[in-house]
Every structure is written in C-alpha cells, then in structure tokens.
Chain A
Amino acid sequence: MLRDNCALVVGASSGIGAAVAERLAREGFRVALVARREEELRKVADRINQRAGEDRALVFAHDVTCFDEVPALFERIVEALGGLSVVVYAAGVMPPVALDEYHFAKDRQMIEVNLLGMIAWLNEAADLFRRVQAGVIVGVGSVAGDRGRAGQPGYNTSKGAQAIFLESLRNRLAPANVRVITIKPGPVDTPMVRHLGRLPMMITADEAARQIVRAIGRSWGTVYVPRRWGLIMWVIIHIPSFIFRRLGMK
C-alpha cells in the first residue's frame, strides 16, 4: 500500500537539502524534491537520475511560505512516490542582518521559511507516520538555535523554535514508532552562508549530508553535525548569560 524507501526533501534545490537528496537517492531511495526554484531542482534531479540510470527523483516546485498548498501537494507527492518513509525539511534562509539593523520583513521571512514552512510540512508527515506507525522525520536546524546571539536574533529564534517543535513531535510520535531527528549542523559551506565569509570548522554540504543520512538510518533525538559541535555547544549553552553577553558572539 505504501512503498518503503521513499523520501521527501523540502529545500532540495541547493545546499544541505540537495546533498541529502542525492545521498538518499544513492542509497536507493525514490526522492521527491521540493523547493521554490524549479530550474535548480531539475538540475539536482537530472544529476540523481543520470547517476541512477532511472527516474528516481521527482520535482515539485513550491514556495514553502504558501502554507495552504501543503496538504494537497503532500498527498500528491506520496501518491507519485508510491509511499513515504523519510521526510527531511532543509529549507532555510538567513538574509544578512547588520548588528544595528532591526528589520521586521527579514525576521518574518526567516520565521516563515525556517519555522512555519517546516511546521506545515512536518505536520502532514507526522499525521501520516502516526497513522502508519512508521517513518523518520528530520528537521535541519542549526547550532545557532542553541543560544540567542547578538548577530542574528530572527535566525536564532527560528532555529531555537524549530528545535522545540521537533522535540515536541518526537515526544508525541515515539509511541507510534516514529523517529524525529533534529539535525544541528555547525557551519556548512552552502549558498545561504556565503555572505558570512569563511567560517571556522566549516564542512562541505556533502559531508553534512553523509552524516545526516547516517543519522536517518539509526538515530533518535538531536544530532550535531559534525559530532564535535555537541561538545562545543554543551560548553556554550552552559556559559552564564552575563559572561556570554561580553564574549560578543555573533
């Protein structure tokens, strides 16, 4: 009735989403690619299908802020794939925000794309997976959601709220045998962060995807990518606020 090894990746046109989609396809998944830019999606799909020698990737152009479109599109995707066992939400934006800039439109865009779009998509996935008592939900968050930094209040908020939402889903869905994984990557070399320049300990999107796909196979809970960020963030989380304020972390 529903085939195994079918995945849906939202935000698959570039960066981590595209890399995860390619990795999953390499592991034998049929993959639905969702993003706003159809042309970019087609390039990803072509790479996947050429490598696989068959039509393993399907393209669905969609703006994640068009929340009302999600239920019907979700159903169409599951029908087209013939099933669904993994959903990855990797869509995200981080427009440049100056330290003295308070820009509601930018903050709103981050909340809508990073958080509300995720809620719209993952609610659909959660409802299906709860009913069939199987499935893996992955939300790609960020270490930036662990503390409120001076440089990106809107982005930090969207990623922090993402983590709470995913934890709630995890607690709701665990009895139904559904795994919900929160991925918290450190800096990853993607178009989204190019404006920030070269960041410390940056990894490639493909390396992040490798670790995410490994987590899809076996993990529960929160997974830092790479793992050393778990230790780093543990330390950062425990820095008292009055000291953290003075460190000037952006």
Chain B
Amino acid sequence: MDMHESVAVPRSAPQPAGLRLKHIERVEGWGMAVGGLSHVFRPTDAEGVRAVFDLARREGRSVGLRGGGNSYGDAAMNTGGIVLDLTRMDRVLAWDPATGVIDVEPGVTIERLWKTIIGDGWWPAVVSGTMFTTMGGCAAMNIHGKNNYKVGTFGDHVVEFDFLAPDDGGVRTVTRENDPDLFHGAISGFGMLGCFTRLRLQTKRVYSGRLRVEAFDTHSVGEMIESFEERAPDADYLVGWIDCIKGGRGLGRGIVHRANYLAPGEDPDGDLTLAVAAQGLPDKILGLFPKSLMHLLLRPFCNNLGVRLINAAKFHAGVLHPRSVVYLQSHTAFAFLLDYVPNWKFAYKPGGLIQYQSFIPKEAAESAFEEQLRIAQGAGLPPYLGVFKKHRPDPFLLTHAVDGYSLAFDFRVTRRNRAQLWHLAEELDRVVLDHGGRFYFAKDATLRPDVARAFLPAENMRKFAALKRRCDPHNLLQTDLSRRLFGSDLAATMESAGAR
C-alpha cells in the first residue's frame, strides 16, 4: 500500500464505564517470575487510550503501558492499577516500498512488520531476539539488536511519532527537530511520559532473504572481545554465546556468530528468499518432533547438570561441524533465536526465569564479566544462558547502551533460590557500578533504587524529570518497575538524584 493511500479506518472502542471485575487479570513479566493483578484495558485507537487515562484519573488509579509483554521483569506490570494493553492497536497505517518508510500503530509486532515489508526487499533496521515485541514497546525500551554496534538502537530508526500524554494536550507529532527533548525522552522512557499512537520508521533495504553466517570458537571473555573487535568493522551482525557454567580455564568460553547481508545479485535465489514463506521457522525438530512440545523435552535438562551437558555438547559440536564453514540462513532463523522453540520458557516452570543484563564500557568489559561469572558460579547459581553483544552510545535519555559490551544471563528462579538469586543480583550490580556500567529496564527484575539512581547520568535524570512534569504532572503513568526504582513520584526522585 502507498504511504499516501491512507488505510486508517475509524474503530471506535467502547468507552470504559468503570473498573469492573471482568477487567481484572493477572499480568506477568515474560519470565513468569513476577506478576500481579491489574485492571486491563485494550483500546483500539487513541481515543480509547485517552478514555482510559480519564477513567484512571476518575478512579484515582495509575496506568502502566504494555505491549507484547516481552519485558522479562516488571516493566510492563502495574499491580493494583490499570494496565493499558496496546496490542489491539495493531494496524499498519502506511507503507512506501520505494523509500522503506512505514507508519504503524504501537501494537504492531516485529513479526507483522517484517511480513509487511520483506516482499518488497526491506527488513526492520533493528529487531529483538523475538519477533513478538511491539513497536510501542520497542520504542519505549529503545531496544537493540545484534547490530547495535553498527546501526544503533531502535530509536535511531524512528523518523517521527504521534504521542498522547496524560497532560491532555492531545495527540502531538514529535520529531527530532520539533521537540528533541521529548523525542529522546519518550524513546527510552519506559512508558513514563505517554503513549505512542503512531510511529514512522525507516527500514533497511535488503537484496536477499538470507544472511551469510559464520561461527567462531572463543575460549575466554577476552578472546570473545578480541573476536568482536576484529570482525565488527565489516560484520553486519555479531552475537556471542557464553557457556556460563564452565569455570576454571574454560571460564567464558563460547561461540561467536557473525552475519552479513548479501549484496545485490549475490544470492541467485534472492527474489524467492524474500517471500514470507521462505522465512518461516520450521515447526518440527528434525522434521519429526513438534517444536511446540520441545519445552517438555528441555525440562529435565533445566538444572545445573543438564545445562552443563548441553553447553558442553554445543561447544564441542564444532569437532563434528568445523566452525569455518560459511552458510546461508534466513533473516528470521538468525534474528529470532528466542522463537525457535516456542514457549521454551515453560521449561523454567513453575518459578520462571529472570534475565540479568549489564552493559560495560569496552575497556572494563573483560574483567567485569569474568568477575560476574565467578561470583555467580561461586554462589552455586550459574546462569543457564549467556548472550554477549557489542554496543555503541546513543542520544536517548535513559539509554542502556554504552561504547562497550553487554552480557545477558538467564537465571532459573525457584522458590528456594529466589532470595539467594536477588542477593546475587545485588553483588553483580556492584560489579557493574564499579566498572561504570549500565542496566536495561526491559530486562530488569532485581535492581534496587540506589543502583538505578547511580547508573543513570545526573543530567539525563534532570532532563527526564522535567519531561515527566511536563507530560504527566500527576504521575498517572507508573509501573511496578518505576515504583520499585523511583517511587510513585518519579520526577521528584530523579530531580533529587540528578541534583547530586
């Protein structure tokens, strides 16, 4: 469809009359380790969003914004308050295949986005590890992909957005030029300033539905960093897997995957591979076992011994399949590893999982991550997954990105280890702060207020507090995460922290 060929169809949602029993739902973080009850509303347009803001004011409740619910922790939860679930605002409003510019509502998922554009030879510039995140969530959390070091974060590819803030100033169109503070605050602002009602994105031209992929063994964190530094200049994507259970001389061993786009004409089947059907993930393992049941097979391995076995097998698989082999892989298979086994998180039931991701400046990354691995292993709580990425700074106010590296740990949560795990997270936080690092609200479930206020730059907090007072003077927008880290008056907390 053409950019100028508007497809906006008015969809008037029934106005919520009050807080009713039928609206009460349990809302969980994606990792299932945290959850609570809220009144949930699912508007279909900006008017519906405004109606929920009005209802919240009348009822004296706060509102938390939620997209696909893929934040691991409590970033999209608002226990006891109202949750505004935006997944029904899911229309693609306009698409221009000549320029790769697309207008979408906030509930459009990455899946919907890539399926809309790939046939015309475009791909989202930045994607998360799952295709079920929504555009509103991606912008609010300013997500990054495996190409963060090269193309920046999601926000770097937002051209403009329409924004509805609780201050009741109506829907406004925000660009880098007309309101730079709000542009850089709303993106990364974890839903604390207002609701995106439309986003215009610039996508990336591709000439094939496949990527050229190579894998390399590394034997330590330092070696992994060297490998990234060596390959970053001419790799389009880089991602590392770390065997977090292996200690001693094998501490930090892992595998780096590098991927590159194919140049025009390089893929003889280019047009065919750009078809949506060519991007589908297989629904069976080895053509036999339904992937939807794979989490049941994974469950017996979801313990220290099982993960040790799986990690060792994965690392040593290179003996059978030499790493030097270059192969072609679809964009979806490379990008959306988290979707490869549907509901794999169920293997972590009943307690769920948390992800702990920290971002450390380049020069300190090796020592910080090695120290974190030793601390976690020493506590008897080794992460079951470790994912390593390279980043670059960006201009967004509450950004997590640094000129350096991140390592994301998946920890299994059980009733027995929960307190110990939260205590471990505190120890890992100390390492991050000592090394000048940062955290990422989309992943967080454990940060303490003093740590959050310590890692964010004072100047950024002052600017964000001013925006909060401007857009949401009565603190209508809150989440469990915002209250945990900044109390119920975020602006005041950030102002005082920023005045240090």
A120 within 8 A of B: no
Q: Which residues of B contact A199 (CB under 8 A)?
A: none
Q: Which residues of B contact A2 (CB under 8 A)?
A: 24, 37
Interface residue from B21, B26, B79, B80 paired with A134 (Cβ < 8 Å) = B26
**A32 CB to nearest chain B CB (Å):** 14
**B388 CB to nearest chain A CB (Å):** 34
Q: How far is the CA of A1 from the CA of B82 in the complex (A)?
A: 11
**CB <8 Å contact, A131 and B26:** yes
**CB <8 Å contact, B26 and A133:** yes
**CB <8 Å contact, B25 and A131:** yes
**CB <8 Å contact, B21 and A132:** no
A75 within 8 A of B: yes
**CB <8 Å contact, B21 and A1:** no
Interface residue from A1, A75, A127, A132 paired with B20 (Cβ < 8 Å) = A75
Q: Which residues of A contact B80 (CB under 8 A)?
A: 1
Q: How far is the CA of A85 from the CA of B59 in the complex (A)?
A: 25
Q: Which residues of A contact B37 (CB under 8 A)?
A: 1-2, 132
**CB <8 Å contact, B25 and A1:** no
Q: How far is the CA of A127 from the CA of B22 in the complex (A)?
A: 8
A69 within 8 A of B: no
Q: State whether A75 and B24 are in contact (beta carbons under 8 Å apart), knowing that A1-B37, A1-B38, A2-B37 are contacts in the complex.
A: no
**Interface bin, chain B:** 10 to 19
Q: Which residues of A contact B28 (CB under 8 A)?
A: 133
**CB <8 Å contact, A79 and B26:** no
Interface 1/0 per residue, A45-84 and B, CB below 8 Å = 0000000000000000000000000000011001100000
Interface 1/0 per residue, A128-139 and B, CB below 8 Å = 100111100000
**Interface bin, chain A:** 10 to 19
Q: How far is the CA of A132 from the CA of B80 in the complex (A)?
A: 12
**B150 CB to nearest chain A CB (Å):** 41
**CB <8 Å contact, A78 and B21:** yes
- Which residues 19-38 of B sit at the A interface, judged by CB distance below 8 A? 20-22, 24-26, 28, 35, 37-38
Q: Which residues of A contact B35 (CB under 8 A)?
A: 133
**Residue of B at shortest CB range from A76?**
B21
**CB <8 Å contact, B26 and A128:** no
Interface 1/0 per residue, A207-240 and B, CB below 8 Å = 0000000000000000000000000000000000
**B402 CB to nearest chain A CB (Å):** 37
Q: State whether A128 and B20 are in contact (beta carbons under 8 Å apart), knowing that A1-B38, A2-B37 are contacts in the complex.
A: no
Interface 1/0 per residue, A71-111 and B, CB below 8 Å = 00011001100000000000000000000000000000000
In this complex, the member of B20, B26, B35, B38 whose beta carbon has the largest number of chain A beta carbons within 10 angstroms is B26
**A128 CB to nearest chain B CB (Å):** 7
Q: Which residues of A contact B20 (CB under 8 A)?
A: 75
- Which residues 30-52 of B sit at the A interface, judged by CB distance below 8 A? 35, 37-38
Q: How far is the CA of A78 from the CA of B20 in the complex (A)?
A: 11
Q: How far is the CA of A78 from the CA of B21 in the complex (A)?
A: 8
Q: Which residues of B contact A79 (CB under 8 A)?
A: 21
In this complex, the member of A74, A127, A133, A134 whose beta carbon has the largest number of chain B beta carbons within 10 angstroms is A133
**Residue of B at shortest CB range from A79?**
B21
Q: Which residues of B contact A134 (CB under 8 A)?
A: 26
Q: Which residues of A contact B24 (CB under 8 A)?
A: 1-2, 128, 131-132
Q: How far is the CA of A131 from the CA of B79 in the complex (A)?
A: 14
In this complex, the member of B25, B28, B79 whose beta carbon has the largest number of chain A beta carbons within 10 angstroms is B25
Q: Which residues of A contact B21 (CB under 8 A)?
A: 74-75, 78-79, 128
**B188 CB to nearest chain A CB (Å):** 30
**A113 CB to nearest chain B CB (Å):** 25
Interface 1/0 per residue, B60-99 and A, CB below 8 Å = 0000000000000000000110000000000000000000
**Residue of B at shortest CB range from A132?**
B26
Q: Which residues of A contact B79 (CB under 8 A)?
A: 1
Q: How far is the CA of A132 from the CA of B40 in the complex (A)?
A: 11
Q: How far is the CA of A1 from the CA of B37 in the complex (A)?
A: 7
**Residue of A at shortest CB range from B40?**
A131
**Residue of A at shortest CB range from B346?**
A175
Q: How far is the CA of A127 from the CA of B20 in the complex (A)?
A: 13
Q: Which residues of A contact B22 (CB under 8 A)?
A: 75, 127
Q: How far is the CA of A132 from the CA of B20 in the complex (A)?
A: 14
**B3 CB to nearest chain A CB (Å):** 40
Q: How far is the CA of A128 from the CA of B35 in the complex (A)?
A: 16
Q: How far is the CA of A220 from the CA of B214 in the complex (A)?
A: 50
Interface 1/0 per residue, B7-25 and A, CB below 8 Å = 0000000000000111011
Q: Which residues of B contact A132 (CB under 8 A)?
A: 24-26, 37
Q: How far is the CA of A78 from the CA of B26 in the complex (A)?
A: 16
In this complex, the member of A1, A78, A128 whose beta carbon has the largest number of chain B beta carbons within 10 angstroms is A1
**B484 CB to nearest chain A CB (Å):** 18
**A84 CB to nearest chain B CB (Å):** 9
Q: How far is the CA of A2 from the CA of B25 in the complex (A)?
A: 10
**A208 CB to nearest chain B CB (Å):** 31
In this complex, the member of B21, B24, B25, B35 whose beta carbon has the largest number of chain A beta carbons within 10 angstroms is B21
Known: A2-B37, A132-B25. 5 other contacts (CB 8 A): A2-B24, A79-B21, A128-B21, A131-B24, A131-B26
* Interface residues in chain A, defined as those with a beta carbon under 8 Å from any beta carbon in chain B: 1-2, 74-75, 78-79, 127-128, 131-134
Top 8 closest pairs, chain A to chain B, by CB: A131-B25, A133-B26, A1-B37, A75-B21, A132-B26, A78-B21, A1-B80, A132-B37
A to B CB contacts below 8 Å, 14 in the list: A1-B24, A1-B37, A1-B38, A1-B79, A1-B80, A2-B24, A2-B37, A75-B20, A128-B21, A128-B24, A131-B24, A131-B25, A133-B28, A133-B35
